[in-house]
Structure 1
């Protein structure tokens, strides 16, 4: 395969990835505290805040990512005592979609870029 199609594929993956990363920076700054406020009695959220609050933006990113991961698996997390299932079910659906779609798209495009990079490295 020539370099031009590989470059175009990289462009079609890289540009959306860059836009998603810009959106993630905005989303993390705006929605982290809002999402945590919907889980007021959760010990998980309190522990996350105390552990990551001193780390600035990276800490806020970790808090947002962990919260999204816990909301993605509420049954498993409730069995382990991390999250109360009633709070997870009352969590606003629109906010949950924003978290899931943002992190999911970032993961998909990052994985696609890694696969393309591996392909280029392997065949050159």
Structure 2
């Protein structure tokens, strides 16, 4: 592969990452408060809402990310008493997908970007 091809792949990945980040911001703005309304007995969610509620859109994105991590690792949070596992299980699947899919997609894109960097350094 030439350096130009690697650069184009990198640009495509960065453009995709921008689209994912825009999606995360949109979802946070539109749905985070609704999702928090379904998780009223989760002390971790309530505390993070209290801490980040005055930070505007950035606070909503942070709260959405925290909720996404809770959805990805509910057992760990439940063992520590931070969440009500039943409330997390009862959360509609639509909201679970809204938060977890963009986060996982962004992680995959970051790994691809790092892999391209390694390929360019050692092969290209």
Q: Deviations over 1:50-100 (max 9, x none)?
A: 111222222221111111101111122111001111101111011101211
Name the residue aligned to 2:32.
32
- The 4+ residue runs of structure 1 with deviation greater than 6 A are none
Distance 1:74 1:123 in 2: 41
TM-score (structure 2 length as normaliser): 0.87
Could you tell me whether the CA contact under 8 Å between 2:20 and 2:106 is conserved in 1? Answer: yes
Name the residue aligned to 1:4.
4
Distance 1:32 1:114 in 2: 30
Q: How many residues align?
A: 124
Could you tell me whether the CA contact under 8 Å between 2:36 and 2:45 is conserved in 1? Answer: yes
Name stretches of at least 5 consecutive residues in structure 1 with no aligned partner: none
Distance 2:105 2:16 in 1: 9
